[in-house]
Each structure stands twice: as C-alpha cells, then as structure tokens.
Amino acid sequence: MSRGSVRTMFSIVFALIHISPAPAGESSADSENKSKFLLNFAEFTDWPETAFADKQTPLTIAILGHDPFGKDLDTLAENDVLKGRSVVVRRHRKVEEIKTCHILYVSESQKSRMNCILRALKGKPVLTVSEIENSAVRGVMIRTKAENDKIRLAINLESAKAVHLTLKSKLLRQREIVEPANK
C-alpha cells in the first residue's frame, strides 16, 4: 500500500470516528459515511486463507435486512480493491440465502432474529457488524453506535478469534472490548 493511500485511509477513519448522527432517518451524508466505515473494517481485519476459494475471489459484503447504505455502499465498493480483492455487495432478507460472505452487516430490522443469525454463522469466518443494542455482547464482532456526535465501537474479540479473524490494533484502539453474555 502506498504512503498516500495509507494517509488517505487514516484520514477517512479519523473523520468517520467523528461522524454526527442524522437527526431523523438516514441522510445521504450519513449513508455515505456508514458505507465508508463498513468498507474500512475490511482494511483492519485479516481472514484465514480458507475464507476465500482462491486469489481472485472477491471480498463479499452482505447486508441482512433493511439496507441503511443505499447506493452509497455500491458506489464506493464498485472500483475499490480491499486486501488485493475486488469488492462485491449483496443484499439478503434471510441469513439462509447467504452463500458467500466475508463481512455481514446485520440491520436493525433483524433484531428479533439475532440469535438465529449468529447460530447460522457459527464457525464461519464472517466479520459481523451491527448497530443493534447489545449485539456485541450477544456475539456480533463489531457494534457501531452514534454517541455524542461520534461513532463508538464495541468489539467482541472472542467472537472474532473463535472464527480465526484477526482484528488489527488500529481498529482495537477505537473501541470498547465486550465479553460475551454466555461466559
């Protein structure tokens, strides 16, 4: 990665940590910022080699349930290369529809199905991300939360380690580590 792209990446991450939440609903700027945030999680995560069929396999981001990103995520991912891979965005209504996925955003609309979703993903190297309250304690790897005009992260490191995902220290510095509820 070139020095310029590293500087750009850190500028984006720094800016995203200071995002103001939209007052009601999703604004276009808020959707774009959330999209950038989600894409940046890939830069700070290492997957086991077995998570990809081969070197040409794209990094797949799946949205489960209501899509808070709209076209912004597709636009940003369209020409992006993360970890040397192209990026594909897919949307699903049920976890059972997902065939391949490396990052899964679990929408607020899936709150009542969270336990079922996490059971379906058990043992699979999928980075799970959600804004659902207490989702990190329940097993989601990264919970994002708007708080005091900033985005806060709660990270369930044990869930990531259990499926052989490595979250880099740069990501872990911006977070609160949570313990699973069933411990």
- Answer for the pair 107, 64: CB distance below 8 angstroms, yes or no: yes
The count of structural domains within the chain is 1
Inside any domain, residue 182: no
Model confidence band, residue 5 (pLDDT cutoffs 50, 70, 90): very low
Nearest to 101 by CA among 91, 116, 114, 113: 91
Residue 14 confidence (pLDDT) above 70: no
- The pLDDT score that the predictor gives to residue 112 is 96
Residue of 52 and 148 predicted with greater confidence: 52
Model confidence band, residue 29 (pLDDT cutoffs 50, 70, 90): low
Inside any domain, residue 107: yes
Mean pLDDT over 119-128 rounds to 96
Inside any domain, residue 14: yes
The whole domain housing 64 covers 3-177
62-108 pLDDT per residue, tens? 999 999 998 999 999 998 899 899 999 999 999 999 999 999 999 99
**Percent of the chain scored above 90 by pLDDT?**
62
User: Bridge partners of 129?
Assistant: 105, 142
Inside any domain, residue 168: yes
- The pLDDT score that the predictor gives to residue 11 is 36
Rounded Cα distance between 21 and 5, Å, is 27
Inside any domain, residue 71: yes
Residue 7 confidence (pLDDT) above 60: no
Nearest to 161 by CA among 145, 133, 180, 143: 180
Inside any domain, residue 183: no
- The pLDDT score that the predictor gives to residue 4 is 44
Mean pLDDT over 44-68 rounds to 95
For the ranges 34-43, 108-117, 119-128, 170-179, which has the lowest average pLDDT?
170-179
Inside any domain, residue 22: yes
CATH number of the domain that 114 lies in? 3.40.50
